[in-house]
Amino acid sequence: MRRPIVVMSMLVVLAGVSCGDHNPECPELGSEYPTTVGRLDDVTLETLRGVYSAQNPRICSTLNEYGFTTGALCMSYGVGLPEDLDVAAMIVRAKAAIAANAQYTGVSDTSALSVISHDVIPQRWFMRINFARQVYAGLEVLAHPISVLMDSLGVFWIDGNYYPEISVPAEPVVSATQAQVGILGMDITFEDFGGDPHTFVIGADSFRGEPVERILEHAAGDAIELRVAWRIPVGPAGGEPAWWFVYVDVMDGEMLLIDQLIMF
């Protein structure tokens, strides 16, 4: 079941090259933060979708409003799979198809792709391969990971994307401790199974672990901002595990998101 998300200020939407310290293709860390991805205008988007479709006549999925691959509006079921299915070979083909569409998937280097699961549906029309979330400059990107559907002829559906460039500050301006202090006294409003509202107030004894850095997709009008944030686990004193993750921008201390982890 998809976890509910509670947003206290701005709406955040959470939905490639794995960047390391010695990768010359990566942008300079800390430049032009945050990275902003703009929504394409209608004419540009329809033109790009047409090019994508022409380049991939078997792929029934399309591109989202930012020009990245999405599984929306796809009605194909595949042509089936052989009985002697070679899963390893299918994964190699899947990675190659994703990299061949680097302009739309954000992945140009297949070594950035790590499989987390694969499943064949009972009717054997197709198999689904799910890849792990992007890791950029050592930070997990909390965005929609990539999945593909494949039949014996290859990939016919691609969903999700990585981001080829993300500006990551060399050093946080706001420390983990400062981020924790900044959310002391903040109210978190939630509902129980009966729909009754409750309020939890973050106190000094509410922290359920050490903050870690993550990269978030942050909605900013018609654009996406890729923001680096401290993920702070909180919950009732003495309780384990955390009930919420609170995300705070490492540069300006803005509270970006509260992600509810449990159902009440």
Percent of all residues in the chain with a pLDDT value above 70, rounded to a whole number: 86
What is the structure's pLDDT at 194?
Answer: 85
> In this predicted model, what pLDDT tens digit does every residue of 155-165 receive, in sequence order?
999 999 999 99
pTM for this model (two decimals): 0.84
Question: Rounded to a whole number, what is the largest CA-CA distance in the chain?
Answer: 59
Q: Which has more confidence, 190 or 130?
A: 130
Q: Read off the tokens for 168.
A: 């990551």
What is the structure's pLDDT at 177?
Answer: 98
Q: Read off the tokens for 223.
A: 């654009």
62-76, 124-138, 200-214: which range is least confident on average? 62-76
Is the alpha carbon torsion for 250, 256, 261, 264 positive or negative? positive
Q: Give the per-residue SS3 of the chain.
A: CCCCEECCCCCCCCCCCCCCCCCCCCCCCCCCCCEEEECCCHHHHHHHHHHHHHHCCCCCCEECCCCCEECCCCCCCCCCCCCCCCHHHHHHHHHHHHHHCHHHHCCCCHHHCCEEEEEECCCCCCEEEEECCCEECCEEEECCCCEEEEECCEEEEEECCCCCCCCCCCCCCCCHHHHHHHCCCCEEEEECCCCCEEEEECCCCCECCCCEEEEEEEEECCEEEEEEEEEEEECCCCCCCCCEEEEEECCCCCEEEEEECCCC
Q: Which amino acid does the sequence have at 234?
A: V
> In this predicted model, what pLDDT tens digit does every residue of 32-72 receive, in sequence order?
899 999 999 999 999 999 999 999 999 999 999 999 999 97
Whether the CB-CB separation of 60 and 53 falls below 8 Å is answered with no
Tokens 């070594």 correspond to what residue?
Answer: 111
d(CA 239, CA 15): 29
What is the structure's pLDDT at 15?
Answer: 28
Q: Give the confidence band of 263 by pLDDT, cuts at 50, 70, 90.
A: confident
> In this predicted model, what pLDDT tens digit does every residue of 2-12 receive, in sequence order?
233 333 332 22
3-7, 174-178, 205-209: which range is least confident on average? 3-7
Percent of all residues in the chain with a pLDDT value above 90, rounded to a whole number: 77
